[in-house]
A and B are shown apart, each in its own frame.
Chain A
Amino acid sequence: MTVRIGVVAFQGAWGEHLRLLERLGTEGFPLRSGPLPEDLAGVVLPGGESTVIGRHLAASGLSAALAAGIDAGLPALGTCAGAILLARRLEGPAPEGRIPRVPFLVRRNAWGGGAPQSGTQRDSFEGVLSWNDGQSSRGVFIRAPRFDEPEEGVTVLARFGEEPVALRWRNLFVAAFHPELDGGGPLHSLFLDACRRFGSNAAVPRRA
């Protein structure tokens, strides 16, 4: 069954996300303003600059619409900047327009090893992730955030070394890396499963 997935399309790698969804046999469309369409089965917050995407989310009113949708069980996937926007706790100055739901602490640009937010493009890397179901895949980390202190109810889906880099909380998925630059992989199959389940239950009341 094909489901329709909205990709927040103000800034960043939303084009790559749309192409990837198409390749995985799902219909993606750019989402730039509220209210959310009735048949929306999932939403993707792409990589980019969290301050800029958050700014546009707040200004367009999409932030509030998405927060309401997510509280009603709408599945969401946040990659890199998108993960920063979905995190409940944040180190350093917080961007506008966040949808702080997933209970963990995110540190921006934190792979530099030095002071907070000291990560630069030099510290960007590609590495192998181990997924909790035993698979492994490649992950592309570009000025990536670091995930810390996942609370009760958060499943660590993948790690790079000891570091959690992909998390699931209820219907929300966050990743510090960019599956859209790398053909999707396990994260997208989990996310699309959640979307299909949500899409087929659209008739029943959406309460998380």
Chain B
Amino acid sequence: MEPFRAHATRKKAFPQAFQKILPLRNSLRPDKVRAARWWNPAPEETRERGQNLCRRGPVWSVPDVFRKSLFLALFLRCRPGENGVRGGPVAQDRFERSDVMMNLNVHAREERNCGAEGGAGMGGDAAVPREVRCDANASGNGCPGTDDVPCPRVRRGTETLKEGLARMQVGGVIMDVTNAEQARIAESAGAVAVMALDRVPSELRKAGGVARMAAPERILEIREAVSIPVMAKARIGHFVEAQILEALGVDCIDESEVLTPADEEVHIDKHAFSVPFVCGCRNLGEALRRIAEGAAMIRTKGEAGTGNVVEAVRHVRAVARDLRRVLAADGEELVSLARELGVPVAQLLRCREAGRLPVVQFAAGGIATPADAALMMRLGCDGVFVGSGIFTSSDPRRRAEAIVEAVAHYDDPSVLARVSSGIGEAMAGTDVRRLAPEERLQERGV
């Protein structure tokens, strides 16, 4: 299907006022394409063209106009900067995305996702009508799925698969590597995945200049060397780098502040990809904005390449503090809390449903010792990224093994004492307070 034409059809069907809030609506329910249908049922002609839609479940009886005015009344209220509601610069960024892009991406998702039932425990939403969509009827046949037999179409790149990959990493250590040799060391030491890079963050810091995506041949070399998942970093907002990484068969993309940002306002629309993304955050607002954009995994930003864990601790504590407020809040306080954090209300509801961040949360940025790793686990992280900490230390293999052990037995000080001894010198490290403001990577991408 040709997405531009579909967008044009949709544009024609709605007055300008509705167009304006489309991106807002999408940001509220990024993982629920069905919501798009609820607001905007497919016009007859697109259905006849064989657009992938076969619908089951309850038929909506609420009149169209009523539904739409409900949407308007609800969501214009919480749109920052309008109707007398003040929004911070952060919130403003979030909502200033173009209609065109969001609409295109909704279509990309519809095509990929046949049936949109959320995975168990992954934010299934009872308020959305159950609707199963597939493109089996593109050839003129109806969808073969019934109430008892699920639609037989194979689906790829769904939210369940993307968040599922992240869930498989829980309790593990993801290590930065720059060549096949290091990747093999990481795998045999028990890394759960490797991050393929040209240079580790501390070297990037020293080198200066523009830091970009790693060279494809390096990523492929590393992928050949190991059987565990391979991740790679793309610059913030550089969706073409991300597409290249996806085409290379990378298992997960890190939209990372460690590289020089390509876009200072807009992040990559991660729903449009079939590979999962991991993104950094300093607080709950950043975390939930990234999740709303489609991140399947969240990590703290910390201060990469310093070997100093202080910023990662600050960030994970900030997320936990805001999360406690969200979980304790009265239902009616949620909208103002959403405004304050600069995030969609739906994401706060997802947090409350899960009782935590709705996706896997790792620690990253400055972790250099087994004790650092265990500290981050004790603070509630699901696993850790270790960047420069391993391969700039004196004995990378033993340090890597020790950090893996420390993450698995983080609450057993006797194990931690054992694995912390005899692993050589840790990386030197930097006092974060001595960094000039422009050297602080964490300020990138809010």
Q: Does A148 contact B (CB under 8 A)?
A: no
- State whether A121 touches B152 (Cβ < 8 A): no
A19 in contact (CB, < 8 A): yes
**B99 contacts chain A at the CB level, 8 A cutoff:** no
Q: Which chain A residues lie closer than 8 Å to B156 at the CB level?
A: 122-126
- Residues in A with CB closer than 8 Å to B249 are 120-122
B240-255: which residues lie under 8 A (CB-CB) from chain A?
246, 249-252
Residues of B near A128 (CB, < 8 A) are 149-152
Instruction: Please pick, from A13, A32, A93, A122, the residue contacting B167 in the complex, using a CB distance under 8 A.
Output: A13
Contact with A along B111-132 (1 / 0, CB 8 A): 0000000011110000000000
A46 to B274, CA, bound (A): 24
Pick from A36-44, A175-183, A199-207 the stretch touching chain B: A175-183
A11 to B406, CA, bound (A): 12
Whether a CB of chain B sits under 8 angstroms from the CB of A155 is no
Q: Is A26 an interface residue (CB 8 A)?
A: no
Across the interface, which residues of A come within 8 angstroms of B36, CB to CB? none
Q: Which of A63-71, A134-142, A189-197 contacts B (4 or more CB under 8 A)?
A: A134-142
Choice from A11, A136, A142, A183 contacting B192 with Cβ under 8 Å: A11
- Cα A49 to Cα B191 in complex, Å, equals 9
How far is it, in angstroms, between the C-alpha of A93 and the C-alpha of B226 when the chains are bound?
11
Is there an interface contact between A121 and B275, defined as CB atoms closer than 8 Å?
yes
Q: Chain B, interface size: which category? A: 35 or more
B156's nearest neighbour on chain A, judged by CB, is A125
**Interfacial chain A residues near B251, Cβ < 8 Å:** 120-121, 143
> Once the chains bind, are A125 and B154 in contact (CB under 8 Å)?
yes
**Per-position binary interface string of chain A over residues 61-94, scored 1 when its CB falls under 8 Å from any chain B CB and 0 otherwise:** 0000000000000000000110000000000110
Q: Which residue of A lies closest to B252 (CB)?
A: A121
Interface residues of A in 1-29 (CB under 8 A from B): 9-16, 19-20
B165 on the A face (CB < 8 A): yes
- List A156-200 residues whose CB lies under 8 Å from chain B: 178, 181-183
Instruction: Kindly name the residue among A32, A80, A93, A122 whose own CB sees the greatest number of chain B CB atoms within 10 A.
Output: A122
Residue of A nearest to B149 (CB): A136
Shortest beta-carbon distance from B26 to chain A in Å: 23
Whether a CB of chain B sits under 8 angstroms from the CB of A98 is: no
Asked whether A127 is an interface residue with its Cβ less than 8 Å from the other chain, the reply is yes
Chain B residues lying within 8 Å of A13, measured Cβ to Cβ, are 164, 167-168, 170
Q: Which residue from chain A places its CB closest to the CB of B249 in the assembled complex?
A: A120
The verdict on B229 contacting chain A, using a C-beta distance below 8 Å, is yes
Q: How far is the CB of B20 from chain A (nearest CB, A)?
A: 35
CB of A16 within 8 A of CB of B121, answer yes
Q: Name the residue on A nearest B120 (C-beta).
A: A183
Nearest residue, chain B, Cβ from A13: B167
User: Which of chain B's residues have a CB closer than 8 A to the CB of A117?
Assistant: 227
User: Are A126 and B167 in contact (CB-based, < 8 A)?
Assistant: no
Give every chain A residue within 8 A of B193 (Cβ-Cβ): 49
Q: Does B404 contact A (CB under 8 A)?
A: yes
B228 at the interface (CB under 8 A from A): yes
Q: Which residues of B contact A127 (CB under 8 A)?
A: 152, 154-155
* Minimum distance in angstroms from A26 CB to a CB of chain B: 16
Which residues of chain A are near B152, meaning CB under 8 Å? 127-128
- In Å, the complex CA distance between A195 and B302 comes to 45
**B385 CB → nearest A CB, Å:** 15
Question: Does the CB pair A126–B165 fall under 8 Å?
Answer: no
User: Taking CB as reference atom, which chain B residue is nearest A80?
Assistant: B168
Closest B residue to A112 using CB positions: B249
Q: CA A27 – CA B120 in complex, angstroms?
A: 19
A48 interface contact, C-beta 8 A: yes
- Say whether B342 faces chain A, with CB atoms less than 8 Å apart: no
Residues of chain A with a CB closer than 8 A to B167's CB: 12-13, 15-16, 181
Q: Which residue of B lies closest to A54 (CB)?
A: B190
Chain B residues with CB under 8 Å of A126's CB are 154-156, 158, 160-161
A124 to B252, CA, bound (A): 12
**Residue interface mask A105-136, B partner, CB < 8 A = 1:** 00011000000010011111111100000001
Inter-subunit contact A138/B150 (CB<8 Å): yes
Chain B residues with Cβ below 8 Å from A12 are 167-168, 170-172
How far, in angstroms, from A80 to B121 measured CA to CA in the complex? Answer: 19
Is A55 part of the contact surface with B, judged by Cβ < 8 Å?
yes
Does B187 sit at the interface, judged by CB under 8 A?
yes
Whether the Cβ atoms of A11 and B408 lie closer than 8 Å is: yes
How many Å lie between the Cα of A15 and that of B165 in the bound state?
A: 14
In the bound complex, CA of A80 to CA of B161 (Å): 14
Decide if B164 touches A178 in the complex (CB within 8 Å): yes
Q: Which A residues lie within 8 Å of B160 (CB)?
A: 126, 140, 181-182
The reply to whether the CB of A146 lies closer than 8 angstroms to some CB of chain B is no
Asked whether, in the complex, the Cβ of B171 is within 8 Å of the Cβ of A10, the reply is yes
Interface flag for B80 (CB, 8 Å) = no
Residue of B at shortest CB range from A138?
B150
Q: Which residues of B contact A10 (CB under 8 A)?
A: 171, 408
Which residues of chain B come closer than 8 Å to A182, judged between CB atoms? 119-120, 160
Indicate whether A154 reaches chain B with its CB closer than 8 angstroms: no
| CA–CA, A124 and B119, complex, Å | 15
How far is it, in angstroms, between the C-alpha of A120 and the C-alpha of B156 when the chains are bound? Answer: 12
CA gap between A51 and B250 in the complex, in Å: 19
A-B contact pairs, 23 of them (CB 8 A): A10-B408, A11-B170, A11-B192, A13-B168, A16-B121, A19-B121, A48-B172, A52-B172, A52-B190, A120-B229, A124-B165, A125-B161, A126-B156, A126-B161, A136-B150, A137-B150, A140-B160, A142-B164, A142-B168, A178-B164, A181-B121, A181-B167, A183-B120
**Contacts from B to A (Cβ < 8 Å):** 119-122, 149-152, 154-156, 158, 160-161, 164-165, 167-172, 187, 190-193, 223, 227-230, 246, 249-252, 274-276, 404-405, 408-409
Question: 10 new A-B pairs (CB below 8 Å) besides A109-B227, A121-B276, A126-B156?
Answer: A12-B172, A14-B171, A49-B169, A120-B229, A125-B155, A126-B158, A127-B155, A142-B168, A143-B165, A182-B160
* Top 8 A-B pairs, shortest CB-CB distance: A11-B171, A121-B251, A183-B120, A120-B249, A126-B155, A127-B154, A128-B152, A124-B161
